[in-house]
Amino acid sequence: MFNTTFMKKIIFGLSVLIQFVVLAQENVTYQKPPQSILDLVDYERPPSILINGKHDYMLYTYRDNYKTLEDLSQDEMKLAGLRINPITNISSTITYLNNLKIQKFGSKELIQVIGLPQNPKITYISWSPDDTKLAFTHTTTTSVELWMIDLKTAQALKIYDGRLNANLGMPYKWLNDSQSLLVKAMPSEMKALINSAKEKPAGPIVSISNGSKAQNRTFQDLLKNKIDEENFETLITSEIYKVILNGKPIKWNDAGMWGSLTPSPNGQYILTSKYQKPFSYIVQYNRFAFKSIVFDLNGLITQEVNDVPLTESLPKGTMAVRTGKRDMYWRADKPATLYFIKALDEGNPEIKVEFRDELFQWEAPFNTKPVSILKTIQRFSDITWGNDQIAIAYDSWWNTRNVKTYLFNPSNPNALPQIIFDRDEQNAYGNPGNFEMEKNTFGWNVLALTLKNDAFLLGEGFTANGQFPFIDKYNLITLKSVRIYQSKYTNKLENLITILNKEKGEILVKLESPTDYPNYYIRQINSKNEPLAITNFKNPFTSIANVHKEVIKYKRKDGVELTGTLYLPVGYDMKKKEKLPMIMWAYPTEFKDKNSAGQNTSNSNAFTFPFYGSPVYWITRGYVVLDDASFPIIGEGEKEPNDTFLEQLVDNAKAAIDAVDSLGYIDRSKVAVGGHSYGAFMTANLLTHSDLFACGVARSGAYNRTLTPFGFQNEERNFWEIPTIYNTMSPFNSADKMKHPLLLVHGEADNNPGTFTLQSERYFNALKGFGAPARLVILPKESHGYVAKENILHLLWEQDQWFEKYLKMGK
**So which residues are the catalytic ones?**
677, 750, 784
Q: Please give the Cα distance from 483 to 488 (Å, whole number).
A: 13
Q: Is-contact 541 609, C-beta < 8 A? A: yes
Query: Which residues, other chains included, contact 810 with Cβ-Cβ below 8 Å and sequence gap of 6+?
Result: 669, 670, 694
Beta pairing partners, 145: 138
Beta pairing partners, 437: 447
Q: Please give the Cα distance from 763 to 775 (Å, whole number).
A: 11
Burial of 339 (0-12, 13-18, 19+ CB in 10 A): buried
Residue 466 falls in which region: left (phi positive, over 0), alpha (psi -120 to 50) or beta: left
Q: Which helix (H) or strand (E) holds 286?
A: none
Long-range (24+ apart) CB contacts under 8 A made by 251-255 are: 252/182, 252/299, 253/295, 253/299, 255/187, 255/189
Task: Say how many C-beta atoms besides its own lie within 10 A of residue 684's C-beta.
Answer: 29
Q: Is-contact 594 557, C-beta < 8 A? A: no
Would you give the distance in Å from CA 214 to the centre of its chain?
26
Give how far Cα 351 sits from Cα of 217, 319, 356, Å: 22, 11, 9
Q: Which residues of 427-463 are buried (b: 16+ CB within 10 A; e: fewer)?
A: bbeebbbebbbbbbebbbbbbbbeeebbbbbbbbbbe
**DSSP codes joined into one string, 415-466:** SPPEEEEEEETT-GGG---EE-EEE-TTS-EEE---TT-EEEEEE--EETTE
Q: Please give the Cα distance from 436 to 215 (Å, whole number).
A: 39
Longest dimension (CA), the chain: 110
Q: Please give the Cα distance from 23 to 29 (Å, whole number).
A: 16
Q: Please give the Cα distance from 272 to 293 (Å, whole number).
A: 5
Q: Is-contact 446 437, C-beta < 8 A? A: yes
Looking only at the bridges linking them, the beta strands covering 742-747 and 774-779 are parallel
Closest C-alpha to 238, from 309, 301, 163:
163
Radius of gyration for the alpha carbons in the chain, expressed in angstroms and rounded: 29
Task: Say how many C-beta atoms besides its own lie within 10 A of residue 788's C-beta.
Answer: 23
DSSP code of residue 732: G
Q: Is-contact 92 85, C-beta < 8 A? A: yes
Q: Is-contact 402 425, C-beta < 8 A? A: yes
